Amino acid sequence: MYLVTELCEGGDLKDLLQKNKHFTEEETRHIIKSLSEAIVYLHKKDIVHRDLKLENILVKSCHQGNDNDMVNIKVTDFGLSVQKGGVGSENMLQATCGTPIYMAPEVVNGHQYSQQCDLWSIGVIMYMLLCGEPPFISSSRERLSEMIMKGELTFSGPVWHTISDAAKNVIRCLLNVDPAHRITANELLDNPWISGDTSTIVTRTNVLEMMRQFRNAPEEEESVEMSEGLQNLSLTSSQDKGSGPRTSQELSVTPAPPEDVIDSSSSSKPSTPNKKVKKYRNTVHTNTKVKHFCLIMH
């Protein structure tokens, strides 16, 4: 039996990294983009690689870019890969396997995990490409596991002074200890940093993360965003039989100036004797400011 594969003359990415010490951000972007495209393809096929590392990324060739030699890579070694839904896949996706420094926290724990473990490995690879060292390293397996479980990242050293905040944020999203909040392969491929925009901060798509970000936002930005959100908020009540000819009405929540409160008692339409108008005054605190809203319920 003969197995014919592509010739990758450049060896693997680990050898190339040891030779270069570290890659520039532009070179790293090109490699991570190519790696993301490969993993998006695999995950669409429900294939989890489970052993992504520098040694398993072969260098097909290098071609001259605008400023740097760009590396053309190939993902290899599917000996530990598993296809979700296949025979025995549930047990396989609970097994602790792979290379320790690249293992995701959920793999270290041996809990049920998914293709998100591959994204953690990509984060480790990206970190190593930029600085030449892994984000978590220890001579003790137990200590290494503890460091991975905590996921406390540091960007110390002169090399990180040349790396954009956008790249660092991508690493943080990849090395999120919670796989549910970790960026996906598709989100990584669509990230502005991949397309070359180093000024854009990565956007978290998880709702809880967005709410937390909104809560911690500066006071001025929070006030603007709240006003815009409330202006778009409207509710339509069902038909009120006791309100005369009005068959429906729009119930709106409108922000008022801080020192004023909307007063609808001057409305031209009198209240019916068997209907009481209840006023609810809601107070929303935004740091030191207090916004008042009046919700009129019929």
Domain segments of the chain as ranges: 13-214, 232-297
Q: Which of 278, 221, 284 is nearest to 258 (CA)?
A: 284
Q: Is the pLDDT of residue 249 over 60?
A: no
Q: What is the pLDDT of residues 182-196, one digit of tens each?
A: 999 999 999 999 988
> Does residue 233 sit in helix, strand or coil?
coil
Quick check: is 51 catalytic?
yes
Q: What is the pLDDT of residues 54-112, one digit of tens each?
A: 999 999 876 554 545 688 999 999 988 888 876 556 666 667 777 899 999 999 987 77
Nearest-angstrom CA–CA distance, 254 and 294: 8
Do 89 and 83 touch, CB atoms closer than 8 A? yes
Q: How confident is the model at residue 227 (pLDDT cuts 50, 70, 90)?
A: low
Nearest-angstrom CA–CA distance, 108 and 121: 12
Q: Is the pLDDT of residue 11 over 70?
A: yes
Please give the pLDDT value at position 110.
Answer: 78
Do 47 and 81 touch, CB atoms closer than 8 A? yes
- Cα 109–Cα 115–Cα 118 angle in degrees, nearest 5: 80
Nearest-angstrom CA–CA distance, 245 and 255: 28
Out of 1.10.8.10, 3.40.50.300, 3.90.1720.10, 1.10.510.10, the CATH code matching 13-214 is 1.10.510.10
Q: What is the pTM of this model?
A: 0.65
The structure tokens 């090109």 sit at 30
Of the ranges 20-29, 190-199, 228-237, which is most confident? Answer: 20-29
Structure tokens at 103: 């293992």
Nearest-angstrom CA–CA distance, 265 and 296: 10
Residue 177 CA, distance from chain mean position? 12
CA distances in angstroms from 66 to 26, 135, 196, listed in the order given: 10, 30, 13
- How many Cβ atoms are within 10 Å of 137's Cβ, its own excluded? 11
Please give the pLDDT value at position 208.
Answer: 58
Question: What crossing angle do the helices spanning 116-131 and 25-44 adopt, rounded to 10°?
Answer: 170
For the chain, the average pLDDT equals: 75
Beta bridge partners, 285, equal 290
Q: What is the pLDDT of residues 115-144, one digit of tens each?
A: 999 999 999 999 999 999 999 999 899 999
Nearest-angstrom CA–CA distance, 155 and 292: 44
Q: Which of 53, 46, 41 is nearest to 15 (CA)?
A: 53
Catalytic residue among 51, 190, 260, 263: 51
